[in-house]
Structure 1
């Protein structure tokens, strides 16, 4: 359960678990000064484990941060990152929606990350109905447009947007975003360009 986001919905009111959680919170508050500061420290540790591809340990830290401060948006982006790497794209998207509902800073690429996860959810989840898939694709596009409004001419956003279009078969739109990324001073990965080129040869750049 420690390696499942939010402990898999486990009832934490069971006496032994409740006592352990209360001790964790008390010890963390003593060490960091407040539960919120402890949560932020553990979020940062969680992302370090995530970058090292230690997804189980990353989730443990994100869970501890969640216990400390369930209103920390970065906790949910952490859960989303782990779920994304596990191929659980729609579950990851639910976490991103929770993060966005907490009004996190909008200048750290969160809209692009959420847009890409929404696109992967639409492309990968075969249980979605046609209208559900279309709604998820529309959500992806809206998130990217929000990101573009906040941070125009960001190569990271356009490269991410290109991959979102790719996963849902919108190859001409993907090339448009590749060109926008280049104009913004960025470069798409050679592997992605090969994959996109196999689906649709590169058109003339406008």
Structure 2
């Protein structure tokens, strides 16, 4: 009986290993057979293909050119993420996406690569992909106030769609952290005001409005101010 139990244990131990290996091989084969083309350049993180495949999409001479022209790949990554935001400001999302993808390829620890892609996909009907990418940025740099602000805003957008309290709570947590890191983040204050509005705490919403107003009037959504006025007059009387 003892020998049977020992044999059974051995079969389980050694039988499990090939099964795990088989599953791993299937994943590797799936990645290897994923169709890649120049179209991957315009998909966030090259559409989820492997790093080796992304290098193929970038071109055979890309990395060699980078190594010749930049002191390090990390520096090159910063260059491309900066260019990505420039293209975003010029309303060229496709070009921006490719620059952010290259930034990620050169340095997966560059939080701006994920953040930039998160901003690009914020145009999608739902914020789910934006939240996923911004969460990756936050994992790389948990103290990035801009990432926290963007991520908090994305959760508030999802709350408007889902009405799930968890989304509202998570969004407010990120936004509060953002203004703790940078109290001059006017956009974060605007979103905090919106969060308090959703929580029906209109007094605190007005407080956040005025904090942001003192930093950058241009950052405010006057449509939202109108919605807030409909719930409670401005205690300071600045908005009527």
| TM-score, normalising length: structure 2 | 0.69
- TM-superposed CA distance for 1:74, in Å, is 0.5
Q: Distance in 1 between matches of 2:42 and 2:199?
A: 34
Q: Is the 8 A contact 1:39 1:68 kept in 2?
A: yes
Change beyond 3 A, Cα 1:67–1:202? same
115, 119, 134: which one aligns with 2:156: 119
Query: Take 2:61 and 2:192, find their aligned partners in 1: how far apart are those partners?
Result: 44
Based on CA coordinates, which of the two structures has the bigger radius of gyration? 2
Question: RCO higher in 1 or 2 (8 Å CA, sep ≥ 6)?
Answer: 1
Structure-2 residue corresponding to 1:7: 46
Superposition map of 1:104-143 within 5 A = 106=144, 108-124=145-161, 126=162, 133-143=164-174
* 2:140 is aligned with 1:81: no
1:14-46 CA deviation, whole Å, 9 max, x = no partner? 5x9638555312211211222111111110111
Find the aligned partners of 1:61 and 1:154 in 2 and give their Cα distance.
Answer: 26
Deviation at 1:181, TM superposition (A): 2.6
SS in 1 for 2:141: coil
Deviates more, 1:111-120 or 1:48-57: 111-120
Deviation sequence 1:103-149 (CA, Å, 0-9, x none): 2653x53322221111112223x4xxx7xx22221111111221232
Q: Does the CA-based 8 Å contact 1:171-1:196 persist in structure 2? A: no
Aligned to 2:68: 30
**TM-score normalised according to structure 1 size:** 0.79
Deviations 1:153-176 (A, max 9, x none): 65443123223445x474725334
Q: How does 1:18-167 map to 2 (within 5 A)?
A: 18=56, 20-21=58-59, 23-103=61-141, 106=144, 108-124=145-161, 126=162, 133-152=164-183, 154-166=185-197
Once the 2 structures are TM-superposed, how far is the Cα of residue 68 of structure 1 from its aligned partner? 0.7
Number of residues of Structure 1 aligned to a counterpart in Structure 2? 195
The residue aligned with 2:208 is: 177
- Over 3 Å counting, the alpha-carbon distance change for 1:10 and 1:170 in structure 2 is farther
Change (3 A) 1:7 1:146: same
Q: SS at the partner of 1:33?
A: coil
Unaligned runs of 5+ in 1: none
Pair 1:134–1:67, CA change in 2 (3 A): same
Whole-angstrom CA distance in 2 between matches of 1:40 and 1:185: 28
1:192 aligns with 2:229: no
**Distance in 2 between residues matched to 1:60 and 1:17, nearest whole Å:** 13
CA distance in 2, matches of 1:13, 1:59: 19
Q: Give the drift of 1:203.
A: 4.2
